[in-house]
Amino acid sequence: MIRLENVSKTYKGDVTALRGANANIEKGEFVFLVGPSGSGKSTMIRLLNKAEVPSEGQIFVAGKDIGELSSWKVPFLRRNIGCVFQDFKLLPTKTVYENVAFALEVIGRPKHVIKSQVPAILDLVGLSKKMENLPHELSGGEQQRVSIARAFVNRPLILLADEPTGNLDPATSVGIMRLLDRINRDGTTVVMATHDRAIVDTMRRRVIELDRGSIIRDQSRGVYE
Amino acid sequence: MALKLDYLARETTSNLRRNLTLTLASVVTVAVSLALVGSAFVVRAAVQHSTARWKGDVQFIVFMQANASTQQINAVRASLSPGSNPQIKRVTYFDKKQAYAEFKDIFRDEPVLQQSLTEADMPTSFRVSPRVANPDLISSMVAQQEKLPGVYRVTFGYDTVKKFERLSSLVSTVILGTALFLLGAAGLLILNTIRMAMFARRREIEVMKLVGATNWFIRVPFMLEGLAQGLAGAIPAVVAVYVLYNRLGSASSGTASSTNILQGLYVSSGEVFGISVGLLIVGCLVGVVGSGIAVTRFLDV
């Protein structure tokens, strides 16, 4: 599903964020990216949905070299990749329902599809009672559920999560991880960058560890360290 | 929570106000510049009409009395023909039919005046182009013609007309130049307004990119906003042009004598319509180009 071949990313001023990374992630896998701040986790996530382009190497998503993708096709790549972030990125003036519906509206899904899909996905994330609330009326964990609902409502092949539990307390984080696990069991490939030792150690999934831009460990059913 | 709501309300209203003033600024600039462009074209058309008779070196016009006899007309024709008078290069005879057509064209927007006169009331005339543009010689020729029987009046106005034309073309060129500068400023203002609007909606744009909205889907609303601003500026300019058109109409109706040097500074309704359509198109273009530059430069995906 995702293949990295010798991928490097250098920012201005000789800052190397990623150095010769190789990895192969199969369809339906659940992968943790771990490592200290600045080790290249977020860069790797951003490269996967072409928010950035690698300085060297090739990235294949669903068999296609995304470096070859012309810029007008990038939106169609992103429709197959859901994204979840530490800071949720919800629109503060839209209700929970509208936030999720927005993701379908802007890719031109018809109204009747939106009307049936959005309540279904909000039910899945356990927020069917808060559809008319605004984001600031929700707890952090609930806001992250909205953002997961938005990322998943279009049933993408891949879900990228950049420290989705970074702003949440341990108990709430467990709920979020259950939700991501549930999504993964449906066949969606999940790649999650995290600092959270407890989560990685309990879930025992594949772990890719980065250090100063290099992959130093790739272990199935791994632990944080 | 109360603080958060308060903060949101404040941010939203200040955002709106900032955008409102900027939008207003660009709309007013478009309106002023297009009103100038429109006026310049109206004046240009009016001057062209009022001096239409003086095209092609026509230096003076001999108007016959409406009831002049054929012999009298022939006598004047003979005295003006280039064959018998070596000082004359060309002479054009305007019969009653042509005079009536011209009259109807000049006063096309005044049906009352049109109905009060018939073809028979029209004076015939000779438009004379002398071989040399010597003022003394021409005025002696004018004096000669005025004495001939059946001649109603000789209108001599070449110099006046040329001065008038030069002055009006200078003025309209200056106005057009100023207007083009203003139009450029209007485009830049629209560009900045759209940039501000995109900044205000940057979260939405970020989410749209994230979930795979196409570039055009993101761009089009902003370009429409620019188009709307251009159009909103063009509408008052069109109103200004129509006001000017009406003023010219009422100002020229007092000078309803077809033997004056300059005929009424009129513009036809068709011309005003054409100018207005042009202004609307230019307004839309300025808006689309300004916002188009804004979205392509500050919205890379």
Distance from CA of A196 to the nearest CA of B (A): 25
Of B156, B178, B201, at which residue does a domain stop? B156
Task: Identify whether residues B205 and B257 lie together within a single domain.
Answer: yes
Task: Identify whether residues B294 and B187 lie together within a single domain.
Answer: yes
For the cut 60, the answer to whether the pLDDT of residue B218 exceeds it is yes
Residues of A in contact with B10 (CB under 8 A): none
Task: Identify whether residues B48 and B175 lie together within a single domain.
Answer: yes
Task: Identify whether residues B200 and B287 lie together within a single domain.
Answer: yes
Task: Identify whether residues B181 and B130 lie together within a single domain.
Answer: no
Task: Identify whether residues B134 and B264 lie together within a single domain.
Answer: no
Quick one: DSSP state of residue A130? -
Task: Identify whether residues B76 and B126 lie together within a single domain.
Answer: yes
B 187-216: CB under 8 A from A: 203-204, 206-215
pLDDT of res. A76: 93
CB contact under 8 A, B206 and A89: yes
CB contact under 8 A, B212 and A76: yes
How many folded domains does chain B comprise?
2
CB contact under 8 A, A106 and B213: yes
Least confident of A115-124, B157-166, B181-190: B157-166
For B130-147, what is the mean pLDDT? Answer: 76
The residue behind tokens 């070196």 is B57
CB contact under 8 A, A83 and B210: yes
For the cut 50, the answer to whether the pLDDT of residue B233 exceeds it is yes
3-state secondary structure of A38: coil
Q: What are the residue boundaries of the structural domains of chain A, listed by start?
A: 1-80+158-225, 91-155
pLDDT tens per residue, range A36-51: 988 999 999 999 989 9
Three-state SS string over chain B comes to CHHHHHHHHHHHHHHHHHHHHHHHHHHHHHHHHHHHHHHHHHHHHHHHHHCHHHCCCCCEEEEECCCCCHHHHHHHHHHHCCCCCCCEEEEEEECHHHHHHHHHHHCCCCHHHHHHCCHHHCCCEEEEEECCCCHHHHHHHHHHHHHCCCEEEEEECHHHHHHHHHHHHHHHHHHHHHHHHHHHHHHHHHHHHHHHHHHHCHHHHHHHHHCCCCHHHHHHHHHHHHHHHHHHHHHHHHHHHHHHHHHHHHHHHHHCCCCCCCCCCCCCHHHHHHHHHHHHHHHHHHHHHHHHHHHHHHCCC
For residue B78, the domain's CATH number is 3.30.70.3040
pLDDT of res. A193: 96
Q: Which is higher by pLDDT, B178 or B154?
A: B178
For A173-178, what is the mean pLDDT? Answer: 94
CB contact under 8 A, A72 and B203: no
Band of residue A184 on the pLDDT scale cut at 50, 70, 90: very high
For the cut 60, the answer to whether the pLDDT of residue B159 exceeds it is yes
Q: Which residue range(s) make up the domain with B87?
A: 60-156
Task: Identify whether residues B96 and B235 lie together within a single domain.
Answer: no
Question: Considering chain B, what is the average pLDDT of its residues?
Answer: 80
Task: Identify whether residues B267 and B236 lie together within a single domain.
Answer: yes
In chain B, the residue whose alpha carbon lies closest to the alpha carbon of A109 is: B213
Give yes or no for B8 touching A (CB within 8 A). yes
Q: Which CATH number fits domain A1-80+158-225: 3.30.9.10, 3.40.50.300, 3.20.20.60, 1.10.10.60?
A: 3.40.50.300
Band of residue A203 on the pLDDT scale cut at 50, 70, 90: very high
Residues of B in contact with A151 (CB under 8 A): 211
For B98-105, what is the mean pLDDT? Answer: 78
CA B172 – CA B167 distance, rounded (Å): 9
Residue type, B175: I
Candidates A106, A118, A157, partner chain B, best to mutate (most B CBs within 10 A): A106
Q: Give me the interface pTM, i.e. the ipTM.
A: 0.90
For the cut 80, the answer to whether the pLDDT of residue A78 exceeds it is yes
Task: Identify whether residues B189 and B269 lie together within a single domain.
Answer: yes
Burial string for B215-232 (b: 16+ CB within 10 Å, else e) reads beebbeebbebbbebbbb
Contacting residues for A56 by C-beta, under 8 A, at least 6 apart: A6, A7, A8, A20
pLDDT tens per residue, range B251-295: 665 544 555 666 666 777 888 999 999 999 999 999 999 999 998
Specify if B231 maps to a domain: yes
CB contact under 8 A, A78 and B208: no
Quick one: DSSP state of residue A37? T
Task: Identify whether residues B115 and B199 lie together within a single domain.
Answer: no
Residues of B in contact with A50 (CB under 8 A): none
CB contact under 8 A, A107 and B1: no
Specify if B100 maps to a domain: yes
For the cut 70, the answer to whether the pLDDT of residue A109 exceeds it is yes
CB contact under 8 A, B209 and A78: yes
Task: Identify whether residues B46 and B182 lie together within a single domain.
Answer: yes
CA B183 – CA B286 distance, rounded (Å): 8
Q: Which is higher by pLDDT, A191 or B108?
A: A191
Question: Considering chain A, what is the average pLDDT of its residues?
Answer: 93
Angle of helix A96-105 versus helix A140-152 axis, rounded to 10: 20
Candidates B4, B203, B207, partner chain A, best to mutate (most A CBs within 10 A): B207
